[in-house]
Copies of this chain bind each other. A is one copy, B any other.
Amino acid sequence: MKKAEATRLTILQKAFELIYIKGYQTTSIDDIIATTQVTKGAFYYHFKTKDEMGIAIINEILKPTLKNSFIQPLQSEQNPLDAIYTLMDNLLMKNEFLKVEYGCPASNFTQEMTPWNADFNKVLNELTEQWTKVMTTAIEKGKENGFVRKDVNAKRVTLFVMSGYWGIRNFGKLENSKKVYLTYLKELKSYLNTLK
């Protein structure tokens, strides 16, 4: 990798971590250049504004990460109900980067930036679109393969499951304990069982 490219990536990665922990608005450019050891001149060479950096984080960090964490598991498994449960279990209980006290990066961004910033809104929409599509497709396939009841509405289920995930991530922040995740997962399993 070229040096300049590496600088840009460092900024994106470190800024993302800071924002995940502190929130977007309360993470200052000075915070970012302090932890990255990158000077202000370098920062503003790579990004015209703070928001341009924020958008880049979503496009270049969040989207690819979600592709690996969400989309792969859903497409590789046969039974979509098992796939969804395993996915949630992995994200909530096993993922090493995500912390219960800081919630879900995508959800945090959405809460904080919508509806005031149209650019953020756009890329965040693409982000969720990406992932609801795959989940819906997986459920539809599961209907064909007999894993899921024929009268199940895939889009509804997807939205219902995703909402639950974003919501429990927020409850986790409040309780600061993965115990709520376990409780949630048990009921999720019950719910998914009603779909087969």
Residues of A within 8 A of B (CB): 22-23, 25-26, 101-103, 107-108, 110-112, 114-116, 121, 124-125, 128, 153, 155-157, 159-160, 162-168, 170-171, 173-176, 180, 183-184, 186-188, 190-191, 194
Contacts and interface: CB of A to CB of B under 8 A. Distances in A.
Contacts of A121: 174, 176
B188 A160 contact: yes
Contact of A166 (B115, B162, B170): B170
17 contacts: A101-B114, A107-B167, A108-B111, A111-B112, A114-B176, A115-B173, A125-B175, A156-B183, A156-B186, A159-B180, A160-B184, A162-B167, A163-B166, A166-B167, A167-B168, A170-B170, A191-B194
B187 A156 contact: yes
Given A115-B101, A186-B156, A110 B162 contact: no
B159 A183 contact: yes
Contacts of A157: 187
Contacts of A173: 110-111, 114-115
Contact of A174 (B110, B155, B167, B190): B110
A115 B162 contact: no
A111 B111 contact: yes
A93 B114 CA distance: 20
A159 B187 contact: yes
A23 B156 CA distance: 29
